[in-house]
């Protein structure tokens, strides 16, 4: 009752990797750069550790182990997609540490990714972090620059 008096609360999604956050439009793949799946940022990772950017539940892990869907506790659908065209690696170089349906907290290890192998195979390391149910968002602000996994807010939003 009286929900119309409640003010939208600022929230944040943290970096899933150490590295540099860049605008999604700079990702060398049109599906991401043209925001076909939703909006967010991308990380150019410094290392292969991937952690949960939110408290939530692992909703999906692709068969090829390169992408992870998380349902945040506040209802956002978040996609972490490690590298571009890495689906063709068929899981090689991706050591996933979680299971579908598993609860995670910010900073919990999701996977270790062999970024050296990704580079050797000629794939881009860009890791999009996307809110796929963007219609839930009222205000959105990407944060660009150097980031630390599980610590730096890379997306500020209001629901």
Segment 70-76 mean pLDDT: 97
Please give the pLDDT value at position 5: 44
Q: What is the pLDDT of residue 3?
A: 44
Set out the domains of the chain in order of their start, with CATH numbers.
8-158 (2.70.70.10)
pLDDT band of 51, cuts 50, 70, 90: very high
Per-chain mean pLDDT for the chain: 94
What pLDDT is stored for residue 2 in this prediction? Answer: 44
Q: How would you classify residue 132: left for phi > 0, otherwise alpha for psi between -120 and 50, otherwise beta?
A: alpha
d(CA 11, CA 152): 13
66 included as an active-site residue: no
Q: Would you say residue 67 has pLDDT above 60? A: yes
Write phi, then psi, for 135 (nearest 5 degrees): -65, -15
- pTM listed for this prediction: 0.93
Residue 8 pLDDT > 60: no
Q: What is the mean pLDDT of residues 56-60?
A: 98
* 10-26 confidence digits (pLDDT tens): 689 999 999 999 999 99
Catalytic residue among 49, 66, 81, 126: 81
Residue 57 and residue 46: Cα distance in Å, rounded?
26
Express each pLDDT in 85-142 by its tens digit: 999 999 999 999 999 999 999 999 999 999 999 999 999 999 999 999 999 899 999 9
């Amino acid at each position: 009752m009286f929900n119309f008096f409640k003010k939208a609360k600022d929230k944040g999604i943290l970096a899933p990797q150490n590295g540099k956050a860049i605008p999604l439009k700079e990702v060398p793949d049109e599906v991401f750069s043209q925001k076909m799946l939703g909006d967010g940022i991308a990380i150019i990772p410094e290392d292969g550790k991937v952690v949960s950017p939110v408290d939530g539940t692992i909703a999906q892990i692709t068969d090829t182990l390169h992408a992870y869907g998380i349902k945040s506790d506040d209802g956002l659908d978040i996609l972490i997609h490690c590298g571009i065209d890495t689906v063709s690696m068929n899981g090689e170089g991706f050591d996933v540490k979680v299971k579908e349906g598993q609860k995670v907290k910010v900073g919990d290890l999701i996977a270790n990714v062999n970024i050296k192998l990704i580079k050797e195979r000629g794939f881009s390391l860009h890791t999009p972090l996307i809110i796929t149910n963007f219609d839930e968002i009222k205000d959105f602000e990407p944060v660009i620059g150097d980031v630390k996994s599980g610590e730096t807010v890379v997306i500020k939003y209001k629901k």
